[in-house]
Amino acid sequence: MKLKRFFSVLNGAAMALLFATPAFAAAGDTPDTRADWDELWHEVLVDITVIGVIFIVAAIYMLIRFKATNPEQVGTATRLTTANAIGWALIPAAIFMADDFYLAAKGWTVWDHQRTVPENAMEVKVTGYQWYWEFEYEDGTTTDELKVPVGTPVVLRMTSDDVIHSFGLPYYRLTEDVMPGRITYIWFNPIEEVETLVTCREFCGNSHSEMFTAVEAIAPAEFEKWLAEQG
């Protein structure tokens, strides 16, 4: 029964973690969903690595420790008592559920940031075609690459002219499908100047792997100049 007590302590620790959800970006600031994603990703990596290492080390230990010494030998595990059987079901289940809800709570917080478009966001319309992207700015200018001013959140309202595509922005840790007959959105916060790219992330035929274009966050003055040149 020592193990059982050990598990209940572990379970308590997991519950404590669950209720200690840390605060994310300070109120009033526009969240940086890229940093949110990275933080959550690293926490989840630690979480699954710890679980994986515990189980794999336990397996290796048993696979060596309980090697048969002669062919006639049999295992000596005995049938669990009812109380033990229930304990070995409920306690692991409680631990797994505690971890699930802990991760779900953290994921939900990030999700709220990812899906709540800031009020001051600049809107760009995106249309996917086989096999290129088209961007339309608020003043009606259309371009084949996406440039945005640093410091202004950007919301993309996206649709497709033909088949399903997906707007994959690896730098900003975002993807959302682009479909005919539907409008989807993502938003991101360009906090520094960066030259990056969008790739298509939904299989769309022959040139799917070549459906990419530049995404650049540039200084606001430079952006105004560039946009004027496009018209």
- The answer to whether residue 74 forms part of the interface with another protein (CB under 8 A) is yes
Tokens representing 231?
Answer: 């018209």
Decide whether 96 or 220 has the Cβ nearer to another protein.
Answer: 96
Sign of the C-alpha dihedral computed for residues 90, 107, 177 and 209 taken in this order: negative
- 189-223 residues labelled b (16+ CB within 10 A) or e (exposed): bbeeeeeeebbbbbebeeebeebebebbbbeeeeb
Q: Which of residues 80-99 bind another protein (CB under 8 A)?
A: 80, 85, 88-89, 92-93, 96-97, 99
Decide whether 149 or 166 has the Cβ nearer to another protein.
Answer: 166
The contact mask relative to another protein for 210-229 (x = CB under 8 A, - = no) is x-x-----------------
Q: Which of 134, 208, 226, 227 binds another protein (CB under 8 A)?
A: 208
Decide whether 16 or 50 has the Cβ nearer to another protein.
Answer: 50
Tell the smallest beta-carbon distance from residue 189 to another protein (Å). 14
Tell the smallest beta-carbon distance from residue 59 to another protein (Å). 5
Which among 12, 34, 16 has a CA at the least distance from the CA of 25?
Answer: 34
Q: For Cα atoms 81, 83, 84, give the angle at the middle one, nearest 5 degrees.
A: 65
Tokens representing 162?
Answer: 């033909």
Q: For residue 143, what are the CA distances in angstroms to 33, 146, 160, 173?
A: 26, 7, 16, 23
d(CA 175, CA 181): 18
The contact mask relative to another protein for 31-60 (x = CB under 8 A, - = no) is -----xx--xx--xx-xx--xx--xx-xx-
Q: Which of residues 148-207 bind another protein (CB under 8 A)?
A: 162-164, 166, 168, 170-171, 173-177, 179-186, 197, 199-207
Q: Phi first, then psi: give them for residue 128, nearest 5 degrees.
A: -95, 135
- The answer to whether residue 6 forms part of the interface with another protein (CB under 8 A) is no
Decide whether 73 or 224 has the Cβ nearer to another protein.
Answer: 73
